A and B are shown apart, each in its own frame.
Chain A
Amino acid sequence: MRYNRLALYGLLGIAAIMILSPVFIMISTSLKSMDEIRNGSIFTLPADPGFAAWGKAWFGDCAKTLGDTCGGLSSSFMTSVKIVIPALFLSVGLGAITGYALAAWKMKGANVMFAALLVGMFIPPQVTLYPLIIMIRELGIFGTIPGLILVHVIWGVAFTTMMFRNFFKTVPEDLLKAARIDGAGFWPLFWHVMLPLSLPILGVAMILQFTYIWNDFLLGLTFGGRAGQPMTVALNNLVGSQFGEKEYNVDMAATMLTALPTLAVYLLSGRMFVRGIAAGAVKG
């Protein structure tokens, strides 16, 4: 029996090492100099850890670029922040209101509409990409941050609605009836009863939407243009550019910087992330 336990922990330990080693390699590479990378192995710890590559990844390398910007990730980080925060609140807010209306107000066709919305979660974004480009262009916000915010709200609403609708469906009918007999209308019932009840699911939806929007690549690539380039797109450009000698330490530092916000949210939120990711996994 003891050997069984040992084997159990052994296997779990091996699995944990396999999952963590790419992350370890990313961090340790980012702290090395290019000389050390060329002469050493990816598994070794940095002999003289330094943040020079991080600085280069964040501020750019002004000796290398010709334009007026130095090509660091700092500006695209700000772009990502400016996209994520409004898109997060708008998509979660719209999802909360829609989910509440669908669940708490018995309307004809509510289930049909919910099913139609759910199916929308499975649609690959490629299928509606070009018409969406035309729409955003006609609105005059193509290649801008508001354009990307709108696109993220459109793509996020199915997921957030599903989260809130399924949660509000579990609220006891009697509670809603009592509130309605007291004369609570649509908005008072939402603000004073349902929204306070939904705080846990609100947290889950916020965390997941933050992760999805921050991690998005396709929408940023398509709708961002040059002005609205989010961090994932900038990272891909940085790593993919064939400009001069490849600096793997800068690439890894940039990768780490791009991953940090969602990594931090994950480590701080723990179980909430786990709860939401299962529900939202169908989303692309």
Chain B
Amino acid sequence: MPDPAQDVLHYSATPQDAHQKGRRRWRPQWTARMALIPAMAITIFCFYGFIIWTFVISLTRSRLLPVYKFTGFDQYGRLFANERWWTAMQNLAIHGFLFIGGCIVFGYLLAILIDRGVKAEGLFRTVFMLPLSMSFIVTGVIWQWVMNPGLGLQEAVRALGWAGFEFNWIVRPDRSIYTLAIAGIWQQVGLCMALFLAGLRNIDPNIWKAARVDGIPVWRVYLHIITPMMRTVFFTVFILMSAIVMKAFDLVVALTGGGPGFSSDLPARFVVDHILNRQELGLGAAGAFVLLCTVIAVIAPYIYFELQKERSGRGH
């Protein structure tokens, strides 16, 4: 470490000197840059690099191990000719519609009920969000038991006297996909409720005062005034739930195992199954890439929206 006084005395504008001065002043900046290396390496290699790698594999005829013999888009052709894939994609649409719709409707209703000013609000909130702390595997196993046709809900209701009661969806190929939505909504409705409730609490209380003065019934205030004001919250909830739906893997595995047959299969499970168990690496990679494109199509507007928000926020 040079003596500062000497530094002043011997000051000269040689490039080397300037460089040294610069380095001393900018040292923390360099440390900051070094500190970013691990996260940057993960982002570049493990996120984007691996996406490209998967795409490359999807262009080859790899089965058990990656073989870099390119066959163009043949795997995509096989994928789109694969009946199980289409079942899975169709299931994704059905499950997505029911799950997202159910979470939004029930979550919003619960949030409104709580927002009406109830005692023990904290208790209700804790109860509604309780399933969120459990894993999809736990949720799946619990609901598999509840919906067990031999000993579960069906038998319990029949024992209460309703002999013709039927709830055997979990073993019916034409109904098993709906059981996923039931278990999924049960688990995630609390999150939607919390997000909607936060939105409702941000509404200007003067709106309520004005509505009361005008004598507008409460339900109309919610329907015609509050709900349109909450559109960004609806948008956020929709995106979050879509992200969950498209990654849905654990819940299918634990609840129905994709069955009976492949009747409740989902694309995420199709991909894992083909990569890990079926030695169809190329086909699985193609499925994964199509899944990624679906995610991007839904998420891109959201990311754009968030970035716009941040940019305009900085402008002021």
**Residues of chain A at the chain B interface (Cβ within 8 Å):** 8-9, 11-12, 15-16, 18-20, 22-23, 25-26, 29, 37-38, 41-43, 94-95, 97-98, 100-102, 104-105, 107, 113, 115-120, 122-132, 134-135, 154, 157-158, 161, 180, 185-187, 189, 211, 214-218, 221-222, 232, 235-236, 239-240, 248, 251-252, 255, 258-259, 262-263, 265-267, 270, 273-274, 277-278, 281-282, 284
Chain A residues with Cβ below 8 Å from B36 are: 98, 101-102, 107, 113
Q: How many residues of B contact A (CB 8 A)?
A: 93
Of the candidates A94, A97, A124, A214, the one whose C-beta lies within 8 Å of that of B247 is A124
Quick check: B39 and A128 within 8 Å, CB to CB? no
Could you tell me the distance between the alpha carbons of A278 and B188 in the complex, rounded to whole angstroms? 11
Chain A residues with Cβ below 8 Å from B243 are: 122, 281-282, 284
Q: How far is the CB of A159 from chain B (nearest CB, A)?
A: 12
**Residues of chain B at the chain A interface (Cβ within 8 Å):** 27-29, 31-33, 35-36, 38-40, 42-43, 46-51, 53-54, 57, 66, 106, 110, 113-114, 116, 118, 124-138, 141-146, 148, 151-153, 155-156, 159-160, 186, 189-191, 194-195, 198, 239-240, 243-244, 246-247, 249-250, 253-254, 257, 268, 271-272, 275-276, 281, 284-285, 288-289, 291-292, 295, 299, 303, 306-307
Complex A-B: 7 CB contacts under 8 Å? A8-B113, A12-B113, A123-B295, A129-B275, A158-B43, A248-B145, A262-B133
Could you tell me the distance between the alpha carbons of A117 and B264 in the complex, rounded to whole angstroms? 33
Chain B residues with Cβ below 8 Å from A94 are: 38-39
Chain B residues with Cβ below 8 Å from A42 are: 145-146, 151-153, 155-156
Q: How far is the CB of A138 from chain B (nearest CB, A)?
A: 13
**How many contacts A-B (CB < 8 Å)?**
261
Chain A residues with Cβ below 8 Å from B28 are: 105, 180, 185-186, 189
Quick check: A124 and B136 within 8 Å, CB to CB? no
Quick check: A270 and B126 within 8 Å, CB to CB? yes
Of the candidates B31, B137, B268, the one whose C-beta lies within 8 Å of that of A124 is B268
Could you tell me the distance between the alpha carbons of A222 and B46 in the complex, rounded to whole angstroms? 16
Chain A residues with Cβ below 8 Å from B57 are: 130
Of the candidates B46, B124, B271, the one whose C-beta lies within 8 Å of that of A16 is B124
Given contacts A97-B35, A161-B39, A215-B135, contact A274 B247 (CB under 8 A): no
Given A154-B42, A157-B38, A235-B141, 19 more A-B residue pairs with CB atoms under 8 Å apart are A12-B118, A12-B124, A20-B127, A42-B145, A43-B156, A107-B29, A113-B36, A117-B47, A127-B289, A128-B53, A157-B42, A161-B39, A214-B135, A270-B126, A273-B132, A273-B133, A278-B194, A281-B244, A282-B243
Of the candidates B32, B130, B133, the one whose C-beta lies within 8 Å of that of A20 is B130
Chain B residues with Cβ below 8 Å from A25 are: 142, 145-146
Could you tell me the distance between the alpha carbons of A214 and B136 in the complex, rounded to whole angstroms? 11
Quick check: B33 and A107 within 8 Å, CB to CB? yes
Chain A residues with Cβ below 8 Å from B31 are: 185-187
Quick check: A235 and B126 within 8 Å, CB to CB? no
Quick check: A128 and B47 within 8 Å, CB to CB? yes
Q: How far is the CB of B251 from chain A (nearest CB, A)?
A: 9
Chain A residues with Cβ below 8 Å from B246 are: 124
Quick check: B247 and A236 within 8 Å, CB to CB? no
Could you tell me the distance between the alpha carbons of A38 and B30 in the complex, rounded to whole angstroms? 68
Quick check: A235 and B138 within 8 Å, CB to CB? yes
Could you tell me the distance between the alpha carbons of A134 and B46 in the complex, rounded to whole angstroms? 11
Task: Identify the closest chain B residue to A217 (Cβ).
Answer: B250
Quick check: B247 and A232 within 8 Å, CB to CB? no
Chain A residues with Cβ below 8 Å from B47 are: 116-117, 119-120, 123, 128, 158
